[in-house]
Structure 1
Amino acid sequence: MATKQAHFVPKTYLRGFLFDEKKERVYAYNSRSNLITPTKIDKICSQSYLYRVKDKDDNDSDEIEEMLAKDIEPKYQGLLNTVRLGEWIDKTTIADISTFIALQHLRVPGTMDFFEETGIKFLKDALKDELSKLLDDNARKAIIDEFKKDDPVRFEKLLKENPDFTGELSRQDIQDMIDENNMKLTIDIGKNNVIRGIFEQVLPIAEKFIRRGWHIMFAPDGYEFITSDMPAFVAKLMPDGVIHFSFGGFGRLDSDIIFPMAKDVCIVINGPEYFQKVGVVTPETVDIINRMVSSRPNIQYLISAQRPLVKKYSRYLTSPPQMQE
């Protein structure tokens, strides 16, 4: 049975950044309150019934949350333990890690919001294209004639209930509909469509990771990787030091997929060909990764086992927009 609070960054992942093993606490910097607090991992990175959808009978279903809790999240500690051995990783494990990274990128609220906004924009653009066809006088007349013929009762009802409707559409009527400022249109593509659509993208994205190069980076003694409430992302560090995010998406071969697995190890996937490179990186590389993690737009929390680290990198954050819980 799914819990009310669905963790979009699972606790099994957050345990890799604990400073207090017994109470399961991390240091979390909240960009909304500008406070750094020792926080239990069950208190952050969650929303009420985030993955609840409707089943075929229109009843509430927690099937996705239950699948995540039963089939995906319990594997993570074993995957992390395997990576920590510092040895060659077999293809099955690479595939499982790829799936987890893809899923972790997609399952966060920020990605869901992006999918919804993109879907709405697509539908609006499609509607505008169809409306633009009605700028032709013959096309407008044809659609009104068809309406009169196919549904005369509704047509007469519209005439009676809308004094401004004369039974014809003018070119200006259509232009007003197309005009972005006057277009009174609300499109709801539905939570079901957004969530199910997102989870359908997991395997196609994971397959892209499997075909690219894998850097298994271990932090040197005295240094640690940090993470956030959006821990898997696409970025590119440019020669001038500027970090570009998304950078053409997962399909662009000169982009980097960044995923801090735990405070001691980070995975970076890049390049056009598959390879594995394992080793301890320099403090400078750890700093670059941490700066990428903390510079990503719209994150709320920076998370670390060290208070000074979240304080140091918090200067890169901008506060995300407020969301309804």
Structure 2
Amino acid sequence: MTPLNYPAKPRPGDRVAVVSPSAGLPGLFPHVYELGLRRLREEFGLEPVEYPTTRVMGADPRDRARDLTAAFADPTITAVLATVGGDDLITVTPHLDDEVLRANPKPYFGYSDNTNVLNHLYRLGMVAYHGGSVLVHLGRPGKPHPLTFDSLRAALFTSGWYDLTPAEEWGDQPNDWRDPSTLAHEPVMFPGEGWRWQGPARVVQGRTWGGNLEILHWLMAADRVGAVSDHAGEVLIIETSEELPSATEVFRILRNMGERGLLAGLPAVLVGRAKAWEFDRPHTLDQRREWADAQRDAVTRALAAYNPDAVVVFDVDLGHTDPQLIIPYGGEIRVDAVERRISVRY
């Protein structure tokens, strides 16, 4: 098992990199992006620093890798935040300068396609942070979600243990970024129903690994996932994207992980609340509940075959739904199925 280290944290007033290693969507939606930058300054007291490809759609993967490497190399930069996800970061990480990254560890925040970077830093021995997007979370319409911002603030500035909190309300129906007027009101939200626990009543403590389930599948296909022994004893975190993979696809991905031997050694699994709405699939609330039930059933079926004794927690707000809790990637986590509490060490 590779030893992992927590990079030093930024302080209010510091300069932080704002990068788009996945997709340059800030160039298409500057009104959302500028709102996110303003909140980064006003709510967190941090000074964002852009790089040449931050607002460029379709930038060459080598240029995006050059920007990300430069952000780590700059001694005046104390953290790195991804603006958003995308679908081709798998072509960027091979161009990163690993010697520079190892020599200049910094907290990296991102999710979705950024699972590529999180896993890359993990393999370099660096704890990163699953969650946080300048567009999606800092640029949330209406006002910031308090759970998201409290978690992000703690992850940015503190190093102790932090108790995750089940959301009292949730949403998976974002406002349309193409219409700037939608920034004036919050997204549609629904009452929360708490986490759903499954498996034995025991306490599991270890470090985390995982991320977006579809990207994990790509990483396995590209042979960028470590040996089974590297992940033994870890807590798997998984979530699904706005592409809404079917329950069948979720089961098949987990089955493939099981056949590789990855699932058997994981004592606990945290499953993000399933996103079940997208602009081209505007499901009703009942349809979303059915979708989420099918996703939970798919995970349960796969784990029954490959790890029936795992502690499983469903509907944790760690993925593509609103709010989003920040999870240290490769960092410590405690999953207490006796008291039904989840704590992370930032």
Do the structures match in fold with TM over 0.5?
no
Q: Which has the larger radius of gyration?
A: 1
Under a length normalisation based on structure 2, what TM-score does the superposition of the two structures give? Answer: 0.27
TM-score in terms of structure 1 length: 0.28
Greater helix proportion: 1
Bigger RCO of structures 1 and 2 (CA < 8 A, at least 6 apart): 1
